[in-house]
Amino acid sequence: VMVCNDPNRGKPVRALVHKTSRLYRKQSGLELEDLRREEQDADGAPTLLLATGRGKVRAGIFSRNQLMTGGIESATALPMVRDARARGMRCIIPDPNARGERYGMETFGRTISAIVDSEDQAESSETQKQRPQQQQDERESSNTPLYVLAHSASGAQFVRHLREAANKHILPRVRAVAFTDSTHNVQWAKKDAPELARMLESSRSLYVRSSDVRRDADA
């Protein structure tokens, strides 16, 4: 899907998403009956967010060097997407390096806001129709579970995105996060986002470090 196509901001930003994504349905122009059928098929399905690191790697690619030497299975998110689909999960793969590593955080945040937030708002709007008026003023998040694999710099980008007040509604959705060679620091959240800090130190977060860490730009 297209996340941002403003020429004043740089190159277009796209992301790979599941067919039931609200943004995909809006951009694809599917018929109303098709939309309802897709929604029913994916009702309550968990979502897997796969985010790669910074540098010159693009969406779904963890290492260019590994891609050339080890092949697509070991260097990309393809096996994870395949496994997620077999489990009935929906997938989201952002492209944080679309406008260069300098704008990685901005691109990552814009992508998550455009895709995840739009789904939260869509489900909340349907729920609010059946709730008392005083509860409609409260922003609600979707109950759909969110699982995350964040590699390298995307780990820091994900933590920073959750730390911002406007994005804290996403935190209750997060069931588990796997940080691989992540560049974030738990101390970032200690003061301003204690709930996030507790999640980062709980069993919901798994940390995997390589013994030979290299920058994604060189990988």
SS3 track for 173-214: HEEEEEEECCCCCCHHHHCCCHHHHHHHCCCCEEEECCCCCC
| Angstrom distance (rounded) from CA 5 to CA 159 | 25
CATH hierarchy code of domain 2-126+137-208: 3.40.50
Is the four-CA dihedral 212, 217, 12, 158 of positive or negative sign?
positive
**Residues paired with 205 in a beta bridge:** 177
- Helices within 6-87 (DSSP H only): 22-28, 32-41, 64-70, 72-75, 78-86
Contact between 50 and 60 under an 8 Å Cβ cutoff? The reply is yes
Output DSSP code: residue 147.
Answer: E
CA distances from 175 to 52, 145, 152, 185, 206 (A): 19, 6, 20, 20, 11
Contact between 47 and 92 under an 8 Å Cβ cutoff? The reply is yes
pTM more than 0.85: no
- Domain ranges in the chain are 2-126+137-208
Please report, in tens digits, the pLDDT of each residue of the chain (219 residues total). 898 888 888 899 999 888 777 777 777 776 555 556 655 555 678 999 999 888 788 888 888 888 888 888 888 899 999 999 999 999 999 999 999 888 889 999 999 988 887 655 544 444 444 444 333 333 334 578 999 999 989 999 999 999 987 788 899 999 999 999 888 888 888 888 999 999 999 999 999 987 555 544 444
Contact between 151 and 53 under an 8 Å Cβ cutoff? The reply is yes
